[in-house]
Amino acid sequence: MYNNSNSTNPYGVLGTLSGVGLQGGARNSVLSRVLGLLGFSFLFTAGGAALGTNLGRGAFFPALILSFVALFGLMFAKERAPLNLILLYVFATLEGVTLGLLLQSYIAAGLGGIVIDAAATTASITLAAGAYGATTQRNLTGLGSILFIGLIGVIVASILGIFIHLAFLHLMISMVAAVIFTGFLVYDFNRVANTPQASQGNVILMTVSIYLDIYNLFLNLLFILQSLSGNSRD
């Protein structure tokens, strides 16, 4: 799993990024390891989504809470194999449970087309942003702090949005968030591609960073497309 060679990566869209314009076996090795784990993580997420639809709505909040527990546990046990891998896949599965229940509500409301459009848009943005981040010669180290400040702003605005029920405000927040997570994709792929070597634990944490970038980008695009369509899940 961790010793990927330069052979064809089996993880579809994500896998194409591992061989794009990289110089040096070490860079390719770290990025390939991250992409390999990322591909497996999304397979577990897909399994969790299928499981969530069978468990019902009551599983949403328990899965959400347990996913945070698994994530924090992973941070503390990142170098403890095989516990680190187990926690990674448990986290991805639990995220899939919550995602599956969310998508089920969209499909039940007749918005399955929006789900497909959001998934396709997310895949396209991930490929483009990842390829740029992995191959650019520009110094992107300063981008992280800018994106973090933007993310804090989105979180604050989202909290205010709980008390201010304005559809336009929520749409603007999601649009800004989508831009920020696209920026994080560029930044994180660049960071991974320029890491000459990494421990197993650090590779896993890099995987989690990109996983969350993609996951949150998809959720925000889903809300944006729903809002622009004028449809509601209520």
Question: What would the mean pLDDT of 159-167 be, rounded to a whole number?
Answer: 83
Asked if residue 126 has pLDDT above 90, the reply is: yes
Distance CA 112, CA 159 (A): 28
Q: Regarding predicted confidence, which is higher, 166 or 91?
A: 91
Helix axes 83-108, 60-76, angle to 10 degrees: 150
If DSSP codes are grouped into helix, strand and coil, which group holds residue 20? coil
| pTM of the predicted structure, to 2 decimals | 0.86
Mean pLDDT across the stretch 210-225? Answer: 96
CA 110, CA 15: separation in Å to the nearest integer? 32
For 78-83, what is the mean pLDDT?
A: 92
Residue 101 tokens read as 């229940």
